[in-house]
Amino acid sequence: MRPFTLPRLRFYQLLIPAAVIAMIVGVACGGASSPSTADTSAAPTAPPAAPAAVGATATPLPTQAPPAAEVTGEDRRLVVLTESFGNEVWDPKYESGDKHVWHFPLHSHLITTDDELNYTKDGLATDWSVSEDGNSISWTLREDAVFHNGDPVTPEDAAWYLRYIQDDGARSVVRIRIWRLVAADEPNEAYEGDNTAREKEGHARVTGPNEITMTFVRPTLNFLADVSEVGGGTAGSVMSKSYFESLGTDDQARSDGLIANPNPGAAGPFDLVNFVSGTQIVYEKRDEHFILEKRPYPFDTLEINLVSEAATRKAALLSGEADISPIDVDSREELEAAGLQYRFGPESTVIWINAWNCSADAPQNLGHDQSRQQDDQGAYIGDPVGNPLMCQDKRIRHALDYAIDKEAIQELVGGPDIFHIAGTAAAAPSGIGYRNDGTLDPFPFDPVKARELFVEAGYNVPEVNTDALTAPAVTGLQDPVMPGGGDEWNVWTWEAGATVPKMLQIVEFVCDDWSTYLGLNCKVNVGEEAAIKDRQYGGEIPGQYLVRSNEHSYDTGSKLIGRFGDPAGSYISYDPLVEPLVATAVSSTSPEAQEENYYQALRQAHDGHWDFAPGYLDAPYAISARIDDWRPRALRPSPSALWTIRWSQ
């Protein structure tokens, strides 16, 4: 066995990823150094239940044909490059960012999915059901799953794990949102406030032989997606309770111990054998794991190297030191001439345009430029102060979308095969409720319509003389009101990395269109991702737009609730018209009802246009000449479905 190296990283630390110089040189000039080696091992009655039919058909995964005998995976090493590891936290409760998909090889999920994103019965759960009232979900656990230290995966572990990660101390806003909805032995109000060390007792429990049940205060069937492989993290994995509790006497010590070595308490198809912060993750395939019959990963070692610089990733591909890397399409001709191929991750990244709390119904600021006054306990008092935000007017929000030349963005990033002018900021074609009829797609580029809406809302527009439009100025009305005061329409963004290699140019295109056609003195502000998010959600820049990358979702229920459907704290703009529709959607108990109800909720959110998108990208990856084929999954922001790799002869 290989020596195991896991530097300690406290859960509240967030990494700004950067490759270490030695590693960069090693990859570009001859590969990263190989890791060293060492040993890493170390009931109440269920509610009445009916078969669950939501999300997709629950069927076994088809068995994948093995590679040809002469191209086996024995002793093979797959080398993948990435531009980020997320926040590098191995305690699932505190993971953050879409790059925690690099933790997936370490874990198994309760619910697996097939190539069409149907839920399947080949994960940690072999079956599941939903109670008659829709408030409870039960899972039957498989009997042959074991943790990496050899202990069996028990329902007690699974119930504890669901309680542990779903609480108000989690890093993920989705987990906190779920925590508010889970039912407990005491009324939920008893758990509000400064009590992040407490778990809600009772909401996840053992309810029969190899069965666990989770109960909510109202139907929350979008949770099936959260614990499946289409979810955004490891909420659906199970961690060993006894191993976690052996790491210390309190949550901080235990979390630190888990970050130091998460391997013994995990139950996935790969052992974590090496981790160097900001540099490298190395996994080795376990010989006897239940998923390998269906997914015969054709390699024994998975090496993931963090290389933030695109030029270094490209050099590693050309030198043969890497097998898969995100890479922009500008290099496609050169790389294909060198014998490499391109593959694209479908619907992986959406260009998300949003402003915080434009709605007059938003509890934080009622759509005004300044927050309301607060008392000593933080409760709002009195009437809103400050000026109404321009984006409170739906005509303004629609005009901003009509004014963006989507085809120019499409051409910038590689054409229609890569950038698709379709979908909303939440919904993509593979997601639940999407309809291919244009009703959930970006508004067409129509500067005339954009200007008409601006004038109708009472604002001047400038003279225009472009290839798209020649039009006189409209004056005598009021000039646009810049949120935050001053004379600049501030737009915020950050570098998106390899998933959107021309993010800053995209934002400049949007800003230029808003200036040209609507007369907004648009300024692009580039900063660090976490800092900008903190400013927005902290209420410092209400009404000021972010133009950023974001991942799409298969089940958009959580996004719709979190963005628009939570009267206590929607993090974009609460919309009382969306709230009942999304509540109905996440209560749907048949595929037909689910598709229709999700469509209606998405349609209302799209009409409200509190956020919107010019389109989405298929993430481009280059693959080495050693690989003949690879089929990444839809809706994944990083390389996925690595079991579909087929080596060249």
Tokens of 98: 């879409």
Predicted local confidence at residue 26, as pLDDT: 39
Highest mean pLDDT among 51-60, 168-177, 319-328: 319-328
Determine the 3-state secondary structure of 264 from DSSP. helix
* Lowest mean pLDDT, pick from 30-44, 142-156, 321-335, 479-493: 30-44
Q: What average pLDDT score do residues 321-326 get?
A: 96
Q: Please provide the distance, in angstroms rounded to a whole number, between the alpha carbons at the two ends of the chain.
A: 29
- For 423-571, list the strands marked E by DSSP: 464-465, 470-471, 489-493, 522-526, 545-551
Residue 441: name the closest of 597, 615, 601, 598 by CA: 615
Specify the pLDDT at position 150: 96
**What is residue 502's DSSP assignment?**
T
Question: Tens digits of per-residue pLDDT, 476-494?
Answer: 999 999 998 889 999 999 9
Query: Domain extents for the chain?
Result: 21-340+624-647, 348-372+380-618
The residue assigned the tokens 């990358």 is: 549
**Domain 21-340+624-647 and domain 348-372+380-618 have a common topology:** no
Structure tokens at 197: 């060390």
Q: How far is CA 95 from CA 17, 244, 450, in A?
A: 15, 16, 41
Give the separation between CA 110 and CA 226, rounded to whole angstroms. 10
pLDDT at 576 over 90: yes
- H or E element, residue 51: strand 49-51
Of 93 and 198, more confident: 93
The residues, ordered by sequence, that sit 6+ positions from 536 with a Cβ below 8 Å of its Cβ are: 356, 492, 544, 546
What pLDDT shows up at residue 157? 97
Q: Residue 205 is inside which H or E element, if any?
A: strand 204-208
Q: Which amino acid is at 269?
A: P
Question: 21-340+624-647 adopts what CATH topology?
Answer: D-Maltodextrin-Binding Protein; domain 2 (3.40.190)
Q: What are the C-alpha distances in Å from 239 to residues 202, 223, 255, 491?
A: 19, 18, 12, 41
Which is more confident, 374 or 430?
A: 430
Is the per-residue pLDDT at 144 higher than 90? yes
- Segment holding 78, helix H or strand E: strand 77-82
CB contact burial 263-301 (16+ within 10 A = b; e otherwise): bbbbbbbbbbbbbbbbbbbbbbbeeebbbeebbbbbbbb
Kindly state the percentage of the chain with pLDDT values over 90: 58
pLDDT at residue 251 in the model = 79
d(CA 172, CA 98): 11
Mean pLDDT of 7-25: 31
Average pLDDT for the chain = 84
The sign of the CA dihedral 31, 32, 37, 40 is negative
The answer to which of 57-66, 298-307, 473-482 has the lowest mean pLDDT is 57-66
Mean pLDDT of 146-155: 97
The one-letter amino acid at 598:
Y
Q: Kindly state the greatest CA–CA separation across the chain.
A: 78
Q: Among positive and negative, which fits the CA dihedral 604, 608, 612, 615?
A: positive
Name the residue with higher pLDDT: 258 or 285.
Answer: 285
Q: What is the pLDDT of residues 599-626, one digit of tens each?
A: 999 999 999 999 999 999 998 999 999 9
In whole angstroms, what is the distance from residue 183 CA to residue 326 CA?
A: 42
Tell me what pLDDT residue 435 has. 96
At a CB cut-off of 8 Å and minimum separation 6, what does 338 contact?
318, 625
577-585: long-range contacts (C-beta < 8 A, 24 or more apart)?
Answer: 577/604, 577/608, 578/604, 578/605, 578/608, 582/557, 583/218, 585/222, 585/433, 585/557, 585/560
Within 10 A of 221 (CB to CB), how many other CB atoms are there?
22
Residue 561 contacts residue 585 (beta carbons within 8 Å): no
d(CA 29, CA 491): 40
Please, what's the b/e burial string for 470-508 (b: 16 or more CB within 10 A of its CB; e: otherwise)?
eeeebeeeeebebbeeeeebbbbbbebbbbbbbbbebbb
Phi, psi (degrees; rounded to nearest 5) at 487: -120, 20
- pTM for the model: 0.83
The rounded distance, in Å, linking the Cα atoms of 594 and 640 is 26
pLDDT given for residue 644 in this prediction: 95
Residues whose CB is less than 8 angstroms from the CB of residue 245 and which lie 6 or more positions away in sequence, other chains included: 254
Q: What pLDDT, on a 0 to 100 scale, did the predictor assign at position 190?
A: 60
Q: How far apart are CA 585 and CA 35, in angstroms?
A: 48
Beta strands 136-141 and 211-215 are: antiparallel
Predicted pLDDT at 501: 79
Give the model's confidence band at 535: pLDDT under 50 very low, under 70 low, under 90 confident, else very high.
confident
pLDDT digits (tens, 9 = 90+) for 392-447: 999 999 999 999 999 999 999 989 989 999 999 999 999 999 999 999 999 999 99
Phi/psi of residue 219, each to 5°? -55, 130
Q: Which of 50-59, 142-151, 495-504 has the highest mean pLDDT?
A: 142-151
Q: Is 498 left (phi over 0), alpha (psi -120 to 50) or beta?
A: alpha
In this structure, is the dihedral angle defined by the CA atoms of residues 253, 255, 261 and 262, taken in order, positive or negative? positive
CA-CA-CA-CA torsion sign (372, 374, 380, 382): negative
Provide the pairing of β-strand 545-551 with 324-326: unpaired
pLDDT in the model for residue 63: 53
Q: Would you state the pLDDT for residue 160?
A: 93
**Would you state the pLDDT for residue 33?**
33
Q: How far apart are CA 398 and CA 454, in angstroms?
A: 9
The per-residue pLDDT for 191 is 59
Q: Cα(130)–Cα(399) distance, rounded to whole angstroms?
A: 43
Architecture of domain 348-372+380-618: Roll (3.10)
Confidence of residue 28 (pLDDT cuts 50, 70, 90): very low
